[in-house]
Amino acid sequence: MSEHLISVTDLHVGFSTRRGAVKAVRGISFELVPGATLGVVGESGSGKSVTAYAITRLLDRAGEITSGQVSYFGRNLGSLTEAEMRRLRGSAISMIFQNPRAALNPIRCVGQQIADALNAHGRLTRAEQRERTLQLLRDVMLTDVERIFRSYPHELSGGMCQRIMIALAIACEPKLLIADEATTGLDVTTQKVVMDLLSSLVAERGMGLILITHDLGLAARYCGEIAVMREGQIVEKGAVDTIFGHPRHEYTKRLIAASPTADSTIEDLVPEGEAERFAAPAPMKVSGAPLLLEVRNLSKNFSGFAAVSDVSFTLAAGESLGLVGESGSGKSTISRIVTRLLDKTAGEISFKGESIGEVPATRFNSHRARRDIQIVFQDPHESLNPRYTAFDSIAHPLRTLEKSLPREELNRRVRECADRVGFPAELLTRFPHQLSGGQKARIGIARAIATRPSLLVLDEPTAALDVSVQAIVLRLLDNLRKEGGLAFLFVSHDLNVVRMLCDRVVVLQAGKVVEAGRAADVFMKPTSEYTRTLLQAVPSFSFRARAKVESPVEI
């Protein structure tokens, strides 16, 4: 009997694809003692999730452990039969997944799902099952457990679903819990509640925890040890202070630099070498600029539900305004209305002194202000027409909004835009599915600036990107604004990003403005309770932030 809860030795995992075998995990080793917490961090494709599935042998059909060994208290999991392995799952090793609502069976009431898990690992009477389930629901700090027992996942909030997921995972008292991006996609405040709960449960029960995340702040806040993964390998591992305080590996350093913190600046995000690729920023000249956009008393109702109510703000030429808030705060709706893709219910929008709010969205496409207001969408994957090449996507607004552009001129303009966003000209003939996320994001931006607009609405332009890519894109955006005199309306849930990029900020909650002002003021001296809560919930790996954690996890 080893004292290691889990030990992974030289694990290799391969996937057979039609293009041949792909090595997703290439010889990683680590071990965990009971009660320890390990954070596995890395960007997408680094193999961190695959590692988790390899441990529980839940890899999908194409995946296979090609060599190496996973031992649970010295017991080689690879030698177990599927039936034996099944008995270990849930009772020895459990997992918590991203997107808790999808991870629960949508047509079975949640209590029953927990009972199913209990039932799979022991003979209990119906009453016992029910009693245990209710107790578990109480354990994950849910109230009104009788009602929740009978509820279906769609009737519960994301945070509640994730707590149920946790209850499900700990139902059979496993010794190891693997949380795979368990809070990604949840609002920051919810994320904090769930993570606090998870870490206290783990601590109480003496379980081991492997926390897989792309968010360095999260790992720093809740883990004792950190392993940084990249391309299927662990590049660096050690105690949390060591890794974040004194990173040795180049990649770790880059990752840390790219992660926005409460005090980082745009320039901090990208290492020196890469920053050179951008033209030197021209000095900003904001003060005294003419008013570009004025939104007064804007409201929007969706069949009775007020998504936006009475929101007003202004934006000067060349200025950058951030709209922040959690999901459902109405920030995306505002961005659509300002871009004139959506009609308002009430209020006024004037752009360059002209009221554009009255022009129906259906007819705005032929309005002369169309080319002046452009938008960059949230998800670069779905904001590009799958049947357009990169060139077509960038040329699209030029073709429609600047008709009779001669062919050479069009070519020139497209190339110029591509160049400005740092998109390689040789990739212009590619289709979206042949491009990386960062490249797609660049095309989205290039398309938006192709008609040389004066207002660019950015709707969470980096939310779907890895931090290192996000860093580059943010830097790019910042440069574009500074050199092009563009005004930004920047919509984001990420407070750190907004703080870095915006001059002023408007904080929204449930469609209403709760606070507005200069970015620095709002973040340093928030006046509303809500802003304070938001700021507090943001995890950060900087040691200052770490010191502020109220209930530090015992390691």
Q: Does 73 bind other proteins (CB under 8 A)?
A: no
Candidate ranges 71-79, 117-125, 466-474, 519-527; the one touching other proteins (CB under 8 A): 117-125
Q: Which is nearer to other proteins, 339 or 468 (CB)?
A: 339
Tokens standing for residue 188: 């920051």
Backbone φ and ψ of 66, nearest 5°: -85, -35
In the complex, the smallest distance separating the C-beta of residue 107 from other proteins, rounded to whole angstroms, is 5
Q: Which of 23, 26, 87, 546 binds other proteins (CB under 8 A)?
A: 87
Question: What 8-state DSSP symbol labels residue 164?
Answer: H
Q: Which of 13, 103, 219, 321 binds other proteins (CB under 8 A)?
A: 103
Q: Which is nearer to other proteins, 488 or 530 (CB)?
A: 488
Neighbours of 288 (CB within 10 A): 7
Cα three-residue angle 491-496-502, rounded to 5 degrees = 55
148 within 8 A of 110, measured Cβ to Cβ: yes
527 vs 486: CA distance, rounded Å: 30
Q: Does 79 bind other proteins (CB under 8 A)?
A: no
Q: Which of 138, 147, 154, 532 binds other proteins (CB under 8 A)?
A: 154
- What lies within 8 Å, CB to CB, of 461 at 6+ separation is 376, 377, 378, 441, 444, 445, 473, 477
Residue found under tokens 């998870």: 198
Q: Does 123 bind other proteins (CB under 8 A)?
A: no
Candidate ranges 98-106, 225-233, 349-357, 419-427; the one touching other proteins (CB under 8 A): 98-106
Q: Name the nearest CA neighbour of 333 among 386, 383, 295.
A: 295
Q: Which is nearer to other proteins, 213 or 374 (CB)?
A: 374
349 vs 357: CA distance, rounded Å: 5
User: Measuring CA to CA, how many Å separate 256 from each of 36, 122, 133, 150?
Assistant: 23, 45, 41, 44
Neighbours of 436 (CB within 10 A): 14
Q: Does 126 bind other proteins (CB under 8 A)?
A: no
In the complex, the smallest distance separating the C-beta of residue 541 from other proteins, rounded to whole angstroms, is 28
Q: Which is nearer to other proteins, 366 or 551 (CB)?
A: 366
In the complex, the smallest distance separating the C-beta of residue 283 from other proteins, rounded to whole angstroms, is 30
Site string for other proteins, 39-68 (x = CB under 8 A): -----------------x-x----------
Q: Which of 27, 152, 348, 415 binds other proteins (CB under 8 A)?
A: 152
Beta strand pairing status for 208-213 and 176-180?
parallel
Q: Is 88 helix (H, G, I), strand (E, B) or coil?
A: helix
Tokens standing for residue 147: 């009602």
500 vs 195: CA distance, rounded Å: 26
**Helix (H), strand (E) at residue 104:** none
Tokens standing for residue 28: 């990683």
- What lies within 8 Å, CB to CB, of 249 at 6+ separation is 228, 235, 236
Q: Name the nearest CA neighbour of 448 among 472, 468, 479, 421.
A: 421
Site string for other proteins, 426-465 (x = CB under 8 A): -------xx---------x--xx-----------------
Q: Which of 107, 127, 280, 547 binds other proteins (CB under 8 A)?
A: 107
Q: Which of 9, 44, 69, 91 binds other proteins (CB under 8 A)?
A: 91
Q: Which is nearer to other proteins, 62 or 282 (CB)?
A: 62
Site string for other proteins, 362-401 (x = CB under 8 A): x--xx---xx-xxx-xxx--xxxxxxx-------xx--xx
373 vs 295: CA distance, rounded Å: 14
Q: Which is nearer to other proteins, 226 or 375 (CB)?
A: 375
In the complex, the smallest distance separating the C-beta of residue 318 from other proteins, rounded to whole angstroms, is 21
Cα of 364 vs its chain's centroid, Å? 32
Cα of 306 vs its chain's centroid, Å? 26
Looking at this protein, which amino acid is placed at residue 207?
Answer: M
Q: Which of 117, 212, 293, 441 binds other proteins (CB under 8 A)?
A: 117
In the complex, the smallest distance separating the C-beta of residue 450 from other proteins, rounded to whole angstroms, is 9
Q: Does 16 bind other proteins (CB under 8 A)?
A: no
Using only the alpha carbons of the chain, give its radius of gyration.
Answer: 25
Residue found under tokens 């003939």: 429
Q: Which is nearer to other proteins, 162 or 261 (CB)?
A: 162
Q: Does 303 bind other proteins (CB under 8 A)?
A: no
Site string for other proteins, 400-429 (x = CB under 8 A): xx----------------------------
Q: Does 339 bind other proteins (CB under 8 A)?
A: yes
310 vs 506: CA distance, rounded Å: 13
In the complex, the smallest distance separating the C-beta of residue 177 from other proteins, rounded to whole angstroms, is 11
Q: Which is nearer to other proteins, 257 or 455 (CB)?
A: 455
> Residue numbers of the site for other proteins (CB under 8 A)?
17-19, 56, 58, 86-91, 94-95, 97, 99, 102-109, 116-117, 120-121, 152, 154-155, 165, 168-169, 171-172, 336, 339, 341, 361-362, 365-366, 370-371, 373-375, 377-379, 382-388, 396-397, 400-401, 433-434, 444, 447-448
